Amino acid sequence: MKKIVYITGASAGIGEACAWKFATESWNLIITGRRKERLEKLKADIQSQYSVDILIQSYDVRDLNAVQENINALDLTWSQVDVLINNAGLAVGKGAFQEGLYDDWERMIDTNLKGLIYVSKELVAKMIANGKGHIINIASLAGIESYGGGNVYCATKHGVRALSRAMRIDLLHQGIKVSTVSPGAADTEFSLVRYKGDKQQADKTYQGFEPLTGNDVAESVYFIASQPQHVNIEEIFLLPTAQATSTIIDRSEAN
Ligand code: NDP
Ligand code: 8X3
């Protein structure tokens, strides 16, 4: 029987790359995100190449009722989720704390932390009932170190790493694994979202060096998911070769 992976934020970037990676490894997929048309296209594209079952759940992770409705609607077969990838997340804005906007901060806290908590809580209930499961949380370099202008985004990602450790402890006796992937700069739609559609500003983020791709991160996620049952990879922290810290990046490569 094929395994099942539940991916939040599969409509772009790292989540989309995870969908492709797990499909190439013959897993069935539950792909989620707000942009339904993207998910439908992804499903059609993957199924044109791989013989896997794909279920779309389109909802906003910030909406607890929507999270509960969707996860409760999983039938007996789709409820047998082997791996949850908590990937949906974003940065909104970058600037000094004293100039920050409440609306940006709330979007990050509600998505990166509360959304992850809602999806996890609902799926953990299924995992406990199934007697199996593995949660892989996408944190960030921003969850390991804080950097200027990153304030609340960094706080949410520090929170994701803290919560991962706490979940690992609490779920230990349920046989449910918990792991974290903490990437550095990855060229996805992340910066376009952070800079609110300003493509010039977004492109600057990746200028002069080779960033990670969504596929690079998906390889780490799959490596974690494919370990034997008795092995739990606690965390993978991956950076572009040209990046040493959030702010120390060798941008000498000619574009
Ligand atoms: P993208 O912007 O490319 O993708 C983000 C995904 O999250 C989209 O599929 C989006 O779907 C989904 N999403 C955002 N908000 C919500 C919401 N409220 N409800 C449901 N889905 C939502 O960015 P990345 O792929 O780069 O980001 C994925 C994760 O990786 C994030 O948690 C990010 O913080 C983390 N990360 C990214 C790094 C980077 O440099 N790119 C580095 C380290 C970590 P939709 O808009 O359709 O809802
Ligand atoms: C995204 C990477 O360094 O811009 O989490 O915060 S960073």
189 CA → ligand 2 middle, Å: 12
105: confidence class by pLDDT, cuts 50, 70, 90: very high
pLDDT for position 253: 86
List the domain range (segments joined by +) for residue 62.
4-254
pLDDT for position 254: 60
State how many domains the chain has.
1
pLDDT for position 82: 98
Q: What is the mean pLDDT of the chain?
A: 98
pLDDT at 255 over 90: no
CATH of the domain at 41: 3.40.50.720
Outline where DSSP puts E strands in the chain: 4-7, 28-33, 54-58, 83-86, 134-138, 177-183, 235-238
**Ligand nearest 237 Cα, by number?**
1
Element holding 64 (H helix, E strand): helix 64-72
pTM of the model: 0.98
* pLDDT tens readout for residues 31-84: 999 999 999 999 999 999 999 999 999 999 999 999 999 999 999 999 999 999
Q: Find where tokens 């007996």 sit.
A: 76
Concerning whether 153 is annotated as a catalytic residue, the answer is yes
Atom of ligand 1 nearest to the CA of 212: 40
Cross-sheet strand order for the sheet of 54-58? 54-58, 28-33, 4-7, 83-86, 134-138, 177-183, 235-238
What value does the mean pLDDT take over residues 132-144? 98
112 CA → ligand 1 middle, Å: 9
